[in-house]
């Protein structure tokens, strides 16, 4: 695809003689120190699609109920994507067939070529048609699973988030300090029902047969030194595949040991892994989808940790946010190890759950309590053991963002982050206050309205030089949308098995057949 040849006209002002962009009148949606070179790099990145199959990556922070804000940001992105799909179709025509809506049971026998090139609304677009990988921690992991592994649209995701939020946080289990406050059964039940309804298999790894051929490599150091000599199949970056999900959890056996990745794809590390890359566990654990969502969201003081048998070993899993609340670093490490010949992905979008203050919120609200009840000691000890790690939740997310900005040399090309800057700072992770939402008084309505209003303000405001490195959130959304649409259209133009597999053609039939063969 042809690249832009020069600086494009900008609604935000024009470069002055110093090379900086002057905002013109009023507030500016761009930083005052952005140069013409910065703009040129940004436009080249947006328009130039060198390899259409360079991966597009989405990462989602943990944040309890505040993950609703992350989903709202994604909804705005999908709306902007829809605008760019229509705009580029009008300008350039349809690349080939325009298969933008997922096959469902009702549409399974439809002639795709007879349907409209675009769905009726942005709500029908699937994020899994625009991203190759989705990484999430805690409730960010839940969103990643819904959008990638279960291939839902964003409206379905938001509705399910509301349902789960009410079932989880609407009924408190315990008020005893250091004891879990809520029951985990509602989340388990909701995810199981979703999995049955989506009919895309119940095990998290997509290709279980392939996964079983990968040797157990639990020690990352061993895997770095020996995996290269193994006869097991390597990850093939050019193989046809659908969008993948990966959830971060924390392995627990009395003390928090390490972050652990629950992948839907197979992976093992090679000997030539760069020294600066963090090696996680290898392989894709054979866990049910409901177990993965429970494992990544087992927040201390909120839910009991998930205990599961993995390769004949009993293992405890807690909220991945204890170790890495912002999964962007893990996602970048995975990219480098999966695509060693690539210098950077096509795009990595990191979405937060609202900037937090360092004052206590739900995770630090429990006060020390005497160990007077022997029967409670074990559960209390499980939670107390993670207290030293909880401050990570308030500092690591933005620190990881700054680290990624350094890797990407700014936010004007492949790495970008969206994170509500004001309005959610002191919102407890389990806030579920009754109030008005969308014109009706409903359970959790006040909490939902607060997140919706804060997110809308964030996505409408101009640039904040103390936060943004390049442009205002609304302009970043537009840049992301144009890039994602150009990549998708370039892939469709290439066509072939890789494209057909990526959009999910025949996926349900293959999953049903695989289920029948393994039962």
Least-confidence region, from 66-80, 95-109, 134-148, 297-311: 95-109
Average pLDDT over residues 66-78: 97
**How deeply is 333 buried, as exposed, middle or buried, from its count of CB atoms within 10 A (0-12, 13-18, 19+)?**
buried
pTM over 0.75, yes/no: yes
pLDDT of 360 > 50? The answer is no
pLDDT score at 231: 42
Query: Mean pLDDT for the chain?
Result: 76
Please report, rounded to a whole number, the percentage of residues in the chain having pLDDT higher than 70.
Answer: 67
CA nearest to 294, candidates 182, 209, 207, 386: 182
pLDDT at 460: 96
The predicted pLDDT at position 322 comes to 56
**118-123 contacts, C-beta under 8 A, 24 or more apart:** 118/82, 118/85, 118/86, 118/89, 121/82, 122/78, 122/79, 122/81, 122/82, 123/78, 123/153, 123/154, 123/155
Q: What is the mean pLDDT of residues 282-289?
A: 90
Per-residue tokens: 287: 């866990």
| CB 318 within 8 Å of CB 300 | yes
Q: Round to whole Å and give the CA distance between 249 and 202.
A: 19
**For the CA atoms of the chain, what is the radius of gyration?**
23
Name beta bridge partners: 247: 136, 262
Q: What is the mean pLDDT of residues 414-436?
A: 92
3 is written with which tokens?
């690249």
Residue 357: name the closest of 320, 386, 393 by CA: 393
- Note the pLDDT of residue 181: 55
485, pLDDT greater than 60:
yes
The pLDDT value recorded for residue 370 is 39
Smallest CA-to-CA distance from 400 within 35, 60, 7, 18 is with 60
Predicted pLDDT at 32? 59
**Please, which residues have CB within 8 angstroms of residue 267's CB and are 6 or more apart in sequence?**
235, 282, 283, 284, 334, 337, 338
CA distance linking residue 7 with residue 17, whole number of Å: 14
Taking the CB of residue 198, how many other CB atoms lie within 10 A of it? 19
pLDDT of residue 184: 67
| Residue 430 pLDDT grade (very low, low, confident, very high; cuts 50, 70, 90) | confident
pLDDT at 437 over 70: yes
From the candidates 28, 69, 70, 138, which is the catalytic residue?
138
Question: Is 48 in the active site?
Answer: no
* pLDDT at res. 211: 40
Mean pLDDT of 283-301: 81
Q: How far apart are CA 34 and CA 466, in angstroms?
A: 14
pLDDT band per the 50, 70, 90 thresholds, residue 170:
low
**Beta strands, E only, 343-464:** 347-351, 415-418, 435-437, 440-442
Q: What is the mean pLDDT of residues 272-286?
A: 85
Residue 507's pLDDT is 85
Q: Which residues contact 472 (CB under 8 A, 6 or more apart)?
A: 29, 30, 461, 462, 463, 464
Q: To the nearest 10°, report the CA torsion of 61, 67, 71, 72.
A: -120
More confident site: 303 or 187 = 187
Residue 303 buriedness (CB in 10 A; 0-12 / 13-18 / 19+): buried
Give per-residue pLDDT as tens, 192-239.
999 999 989 889 998 653 344 333 333 333 233 333 334 444 688 999
Q: Which residues contact 436 (CB under 8 A, 6 or more apart)?
A: 442, 445, 446, 449
Report H helices in 318-358: 321-324, 328-338
Confidence band (pLDDT; 50, 70, 90) for 191? confident
Q: What is the pLDDT of residues 128-156, one digit of tens each?
A: 999 999 999 988 999 999 999 999 999 99
Alpha carbon distance 247, 59 (integer Å) = 10
- Give how far the C-alpha of residue 43 lies from the chain's centroid of Cα atoms, to the nearest Å: 25
User: What is the structure's pLDDT at 12?
Assistant: 37
Q: How much is the average pLDDT of 509-518?
A: 63
Structurally, at CATH architecture level, domain 54-106+113-517 sits in 3-Layer(aba) Sandwich (3.40)
Provide the 3-class DSSP secondary structure of residue 417: strand
Q: How many helices (H) and strands (E) does the chain have?
A: 16, 12
| Span 13-70, pLDDT tens digits | 333 333 334 333 334 455 657 788 888 999 999 999 999 999 999 999 998 899 999 9
What is the per-residue pLDDT for 8? 36
Q: Which of 54, 99, 319, 431 is catalytic?
A: 319
**Full DSSP string of 266-305:** -----TT--TTS-----S----BHHHHHHHHT--TTTSPP
Examine the residue annotation and report whether 230 is marked as an active-site residue of this protein.
no
The angle formed by the CA atoms of residues 70, 411 and 2, to the nearest 5 degrees, is: 105
């Amino acid at each position: 695809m042809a690249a832009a040849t020069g600086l494009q006209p900008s609604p935000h002002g024009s470069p002055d003689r110093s090379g900086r962009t002057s905002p013109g009148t009023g507030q500016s949606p761009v930083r005052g120190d952005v140069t013409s070179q910065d703009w040129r790099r940004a436009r080249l990145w947006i328009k130039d699609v060198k390899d259409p199959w360079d991966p597009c990556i989405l990462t989602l922070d943990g944040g309890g109920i505040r993950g609703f804000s992350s989903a709202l940001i994604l909804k705005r992105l999908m709306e902007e994507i829809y605008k760019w799909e229509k705009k580029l179709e009008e300008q350039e025509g349809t690349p080939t067939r325009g298969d933008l809506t997922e096959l469902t049971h009702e549409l399974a026998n439809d002639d795709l070529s007879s349907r409209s090139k675009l769905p009726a609304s942005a709500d029908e677009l699937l994020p899994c048609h625009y991203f190759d990988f989705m990484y999430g921690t805690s409730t960010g992991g839940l969103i990643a699973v819904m959008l990638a592994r279960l291939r839902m649209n964003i409206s379905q995701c938001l509705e399910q988030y509301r349902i789960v939020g009410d079932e989880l946080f609407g009924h408190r289990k315990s008020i005893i300090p250091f004891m879990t406050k809520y029951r985990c059964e509602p989340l388990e039940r909701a995810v199981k029902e979703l999995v049955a309804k989506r009919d895309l298999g119940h095990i998290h790894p997509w290709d279980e047969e392939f996964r079983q051929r990968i040797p157990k490599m639990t020690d990352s150091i061993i895997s770095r030194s020996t995996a290269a000599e193994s006869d097991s199949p390597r990850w093939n970056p050019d193989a046809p595949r659908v969008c993948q999900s990966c959830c971060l959890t924390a392995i627990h056996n009395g003390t928090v040991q390490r972050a652990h990745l629950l992948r839907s794809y197979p992976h093992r590390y090679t000997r030539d892994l760069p020294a600066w890359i963090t090696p996680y566990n290898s392989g894709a654990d054979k866990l049910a989808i409901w177990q993965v969502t429970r494992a990544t969201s087992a927040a201390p003081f909120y839910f009991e940790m998930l205990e599961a048998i993995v390769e004949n070993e009993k293992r405890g899993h807690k909220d991945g946010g204890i170790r890495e609340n912002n999964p962007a670093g893990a996602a970048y490490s995975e990219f480098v190890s999966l695509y060693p010949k690539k210098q950077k992905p096509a795009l990595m979008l990191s979405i937060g759950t609202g900037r937090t203050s360092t004052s206590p919120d739900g995770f630090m609200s429990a006060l020390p309590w005497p160990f007077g009840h022997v029967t409670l000691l074990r559960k209390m000890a499980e939670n107390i053991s993670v207290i030293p790690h909880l401050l990570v939740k308030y500092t690591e997310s933005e620190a990881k963002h700054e680290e990624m900005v350094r890797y990407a040399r700014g936010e004007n090309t492949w790495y970008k982050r969206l994170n509500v800057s004001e309005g959610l700072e002191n919102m407890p992770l389990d806030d579920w206050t009754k109030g008005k939402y969308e014109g009706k008084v409903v359970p959790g309505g006040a909490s939902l309205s607060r997140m919706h209003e804060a997110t809308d303000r964030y996505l409408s405001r101009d640039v904040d030089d103390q936060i943004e490195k390049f442009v205002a959130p609304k302009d970043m959304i537009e840049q992301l949308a144009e890039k994602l649409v150009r990549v998708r259209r370039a892939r469709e133009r290439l066509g072939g098995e890789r494209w057909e597999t990526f959009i999910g053609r025949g996926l349900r039939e293959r999953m049903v057949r695989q289920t029948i063969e393994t039962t």
